[in-house]
Amino acid sequence: MVEHTTLVTGGAGYIGSHAVLALRDVGQGVVVIDDLSTGARTAISSDVPFFEGNVADDALVRSVIREFGVDAVMHFAGSVVVPESVENPLKYYKNNTCVSRTLVETCVEEGVANFIFSSTAAVYGTVEINPVTEDLPPCPDSPYGKTKLVTEWMLRDVSAAIPGFRHIALRYFNVAGADPLGRAGQSTPNATHLIKVACEAAAGRRDYVAIFGEDYDTPDGTGVRDFIHVTDLVEAHMLALAHLRGGGESLVLNCGYGKGFSVREVLEAVRRYSGTNFEIRGSSRRPGDIPVLIADAEKIRECLGWAPHHDTLETIVAGAVNWERSLKPSNGE
């Protein structure tokens, strides 16, 4: 008999689908709600309960919580493209903040005590000192980062006001890679994440890869990021879930490795592993991009006992390239 059931919102998306696999691997109950705006129904096994819809649909969420005895939520649903958030902030305030508010209210009213929120390192904004710790005052540069930060504040206030409701906000740095067993990977259409885009170019699905900004104050002029393997990130969610179910306190935690790689270093790594020499073009900076952002990940190690197992750029790139090669061509390719 399944003792616990987790509702995974956005479970048909990139990170959410990996979380569903992790929950299933340890025999825990899981149910998915996803509106399939960016996710794929095929990312979820047919034996996992799945409901197509938006988590702002109060009636749907209530019925799922009651039917499956949900006691925890992993909230992945939302919009995640920084430049788009600058161009269309209302979309992001709706999808990331307003929808989250409705979901949290439903959880509180239905007695769901444990809430894990998919936040972002974008809450920090442009920083003077790296790596960044969780106690650095957040100052997001983009509406994307702002909408995630407002949701963090909401969860903090709700946890303080409602006895028994606790949360963990996980601030992701740059997520990449694929399930080591080849069961899942990034299949988001029109992806903007660097490694995914590079893998598409290596597979012949893009004509070139653009570097947005070559004049940053970094060793090679391109932005520097802390990349985290999706499997290690999902393990952080599993530990967060156990922490909350065990009565642990609410937390805000960075999810990264504490080391950075430049855009150009990443592209060269994809070229090397894939054995291709796809074209790289320089381009202007994008609105909302940050020059350097690297995580201080000591707190998550101390609080949750998290220890990454896939923390090399080579491992991340290899999984991503292999996953891209496994995908079936589309649109006549």
Encode pLDDT of 126-162 as tens digits: 999 999 999 999 999 999 999 999 999 999 999 999 9
SS (H, E, C) 298-318: HHHHHHHCCCCCCCCHHHHHH
- Residues 62-87: what's their mean pLDDT? 96
Instruction: Write down the catalytic residue from 14, 92, 124, 144.
Output: 144
Instruction: Give SS3 for 104.
Output: helix
What is the spatial distance between Cα 84 and Cα 92, in angstroms, rounded to a whole number? 9
144 flagged as catalytic: yes
> Which CATH superfamily is 194-225+258-326 part of?
UDP-galactose 4-epimerase, domain 1 (3.90.25.10)
What pLDDT shows up at residue 122? 95
First-to-final CA distance of the chain = 46
- Residues 276-283: what's their mean pLDDT? 97
- Positive or negative, the CA dihedral 236, 242, 248, 249 is positive
Q: What is the mean pLDDT of the chain?
A: 95
Do the domains at 5-176+227-255 and 194-225+258-326 have one common CATH topology? no
Name the pairing type of β-strands 224-225 and 261-262: antiparallel
Which tokens is 139 given?
Answer: 């100052």
Per the listing, tokens 């150009």 go with 264
Of 227, 230, 196, which Cα lies nearest the Cα of 322? Answer: 196
Contact yes or no for 72/116 (Cβ under 8 A): yes
Which tokens is 299 given?
Answer: 């707190």
* Topology given in CATH for the domain delimited by 5-176+227-255: Rossmann fold (3.40.50)
Contact yes or no for 13/191 (Cβ under 8 A): no
- Residues 14-32: what's their mean pLDDT? 98
- Helices and strands in the chain, H and E counts: 11, 14
Q: What percent of the chain has pLDDT over 90?
A: 93
Instruction: Give SS3 for 129.
Output: coil
| 92-132 confidence digits (pLDDT tens) | 999 999 999 999 999 999 999 999 999 999 999 999 999 99
What pLDDT shows up at residue 333? 41
Residue ranges covered by each domain of the chain: 5-176+227-255, 194-225+258-326
Which tokens is 26 given?
Answer: 């340890």
Burial state string for 156-168 with b = 16 or more CB within 10 A and e = fewer than 16 = eebbeeeeebbbb
Which tokens is 116 given?
Answer: 């894990």
Task: Provide the pLDDT confidence category of residue 3 given band limits of 50, 70 and 90.
Answer: confident
Contacts of 320 (CB under 8 A, 6+ apart): 176, 177, 178, 185, 186, 195, 196, 199, 270
The partner residues of 208 in beta bridges, in order of sequence, read 279
Of 19, 39, 326, which Cα lies nearest the Cα of 182? Answer: 326
Query: Would you say residue 1 has pLDDT above 50?
Result: no
Instruction: Give SS3 for 59.
Output: helix
